[in-house]
Structure 1
């Protein structure tokens, strides 16, 4: 097996030196050799080393999936299978089930057809699908910001939780719009992360910074909305493996942060690694958790960084390869 591009299975040989994913158009190799770490805190693993370590399991899952009509070896390569295996702790039966679900999910929503990385999330709402447009009607203008500060590091998302009007969402947004809304922003993040992973050779994930300042139980919390969110997030978790590195919750009210800090020592590390309440302006160790993923110069002052821009309105990086067309639902 040649980790630089070609793959073989059951005697067949596929040339995947160029990936067919639309966001990889014009890139000569589907997976680059790993670049040097971008800094002393950059511990992202080499994708090629991970593939080598999981070689037998990848081939086992691939043997099941290559029989599917939606399987395309120029898209569904070793990296694609690797993500499912890591997310499901090397359990091949669960990885196969999730991979099959993902093939159908992407076909149903036509997610393989368009490079949407050029959409400026939070600004280009007219380029989003109808579900996302309806969902965003009940969010303040600065509720969502998805940015790519460094094309060698990936996506950082900022969510201002007080910008949600969940009761109005439940009343006015059809439940069937929830999934397309979540799918659009998750797909946008995935496309950038996949591009960064393939061009740097290092497995790259996103971090989410959720600002809980000024949250109101009456406005921001709705049992029905939480239930809908849960359904959509479960599908995102299944169909976008290895997308999320951590969720950092900042400016939490005392009634939330206090109990969390008391419980942290007894919560499993695997949970802490994904979900953490932090106060970077008060606790240097908390700031270090953020700067592991994003440079201080790209982090707003309100979160302990040096950037004066708030909300962060940095548009997506522009390259000649980006598809400028609007996204069609």
Structure 2
């Protein structure tokens, strides 16, 4: 699909409204168009959300994530791999993604994963897809997007599965959708079990409206279902294709973290956040300071980090410095290191 003159005019109005005329991201019209569609053609709301995303791209240098060797080599990739394979068809320009969702040790993941590292790895994956999508759009002049195949072969029904899907997985994908709206053009669920409708009903309320219509559910095998959407010449051999490569198989079980050792790392201070309220903690740091964070929450809450040169209560002066998002209640004490980019 190419952009119409009306759509191009709307895109220019959004760019002008947030003073992003010189921004490289906005120079690619389809990038802005995705935000416009995601927000139901509401230019004001699309502009607000896009402005926040552009700030995040700069503060965490999101463009560089695909080159981060430490995230590429992290062992966590072995347990929750998503293959970004490439073009789907000679006559199309979608980017094929594949995950053996049913083989992931979801219970072990939730009990032992460190959320910050997990989200960093998934942001790297989505940024990689985004850059491939942009390259396909520049080559063809038509809108591209991810074609995400989730293979549920091996999945077992349990109450914990439901809690995981409506908790950590909902939060993870919700955060990714917030910053990569409309990037996935179709989500194909294959090897769907008999209880897939229960899973869909549990997840549906949390899906963005613009994504609900993109989901295709099939009880067919991955090999049979995927070839209706992807040409054999672009498929790995284990999916019935002609490529010599094969898709990743998740390692299991997920390695257990020594909870006693983790708790001994830091003497955490308890903070109570009343329902519907917020708590602000202020610290004064210098550029280049190395900070190590430790975080454990007993219930879900939203976490943000802002910067301001001066100590002010005026939130309009605060600049978001990390990807603010909801944090699920997980078993482990999360920890990560942060290099302070600015005095304040």
TM-score range, shorter chain: 0.5 to 0.7
2:35 matched to 1:84? Answer: yes
Tell me how far 1:311 sits from its aligned partner. 3.4
Equivalent position of 2:182 in the other structure: 242
Alignment of 1:1-329 (within 5 A): 45-46=1-2, 49-50=3-4, 52-66=5-19, 72-77=22-27, 78-113=29-64, 116=67, 127-129=69-71, 133=74, 135-136=76-77, 138-139=79-80, 143-149=81-87, 153-217=93-157, 221=161, 223-224=163-164, 226-256=166-196, 273-280=213-220, 287=225, 290=226, 293-299=229-235, 305-307=240-242, 311-312=246-247
Judging changes above 3 Å, is the alpha-carbon distance between structure 1 residues 155 and 219 closer, same or farther for their aligned structure 2 residues? Answer: farther
**Which is greater in Rg?**
2
What RMSD in Å do the two structures reach over aligned CA positions? 3.7
Determine if contact 2:35/2:46 at 8 Å carries over to the other structure.
yes
Judging changes above 3 Å, is the alpha-carbon distance between structure 1 residues 191 and 219 closer, same or farther for their aligned structure 2 residues? Answer: farther
Determine if contact 1:166/1:219 at 8 Å carries over to the other structure.
no
Tell me how far 1:185 sits from its aligned partner. 0.8
Tell me how far 1:310 sits from its aligned partner. 7.4
Give the Cα–Cα distance (whole angstroms) in 1 for the partners of residues 75 and 54 of structure 2: 26
Determine if contact 1:153/1:196 at 8 Å carries over to the other structure.
yes
Q: How many residues align?
A: 238
Tell me how far 1:148 sits from its aligned partner. 0.9
Give the Cα–Cα distance (whole angstroms) in 2 for the partners of residues 97 and 187 of structure 1: 21
Give the Cα–Cα distance (whole angstroms) in 1 for the partners of residues 159 and 233 of structure 2: 33
Determine if contact 1:105/1:239 at 8 Å carries over to the other structure.
no
Give the Cα–Cα distance (whole angstroms) in 2 for the partners of residues 224 and 312 of structure 1: 24
Give the Cα–Cα distance (whole angstroms) in 2 for the partners of residues 129 and 219 of structure 1: 31
Tell me how far 1:193 sits from its aligned partner. 0.6
Give the Cα–Cα distance (whole angstroms) in 2 for the partners of residues 96 and 259 of structure 1: 33
Give the Cα–Cα distance (whole angstroms) in 2 for the partners of residues 155 and 74 of structure 1: 22
5+ residue gaps, structure 2, are 201-208, 249-338, 340-344
Give the TM-score normalised by structure 2.
0.58
Give the Cα–Cα distance (whole angstroms) in 1 for the partners of residues 229 and 70 of structure 2: 27
Provide the secondary structure at the position in 1 that maps to 2:79: coil
Provide Cα deviations, 1:229-258, integer angstroms capped at 9, x if missing partner: 222222221211221111111112223269
Query: Greater shift after overlay, 200-209 or 84-93?
Result: 84-93
Tell me how far 1:89 sits from its aligned partner. 2.0
Give the Cα–Cα distance (whole angstroms) in 2 for the partners of residues 214 and 79 of structure 1: 37
Provide Cα deviations, 1:250-274, integer angstroms capped at 9, x if missing partner: 11222326998xxxxxxxx966641
Give the Cα–Cα distance (whole angstroms) in 1 for the partners of residues 194 and 55 of structure 2: 44
Give the Cα–Cα distance (whole angstroms) in 1 for the partners of residues 121 and 134 of structure 2: 20
Give the TM-score normalised by structure 1.
0.60
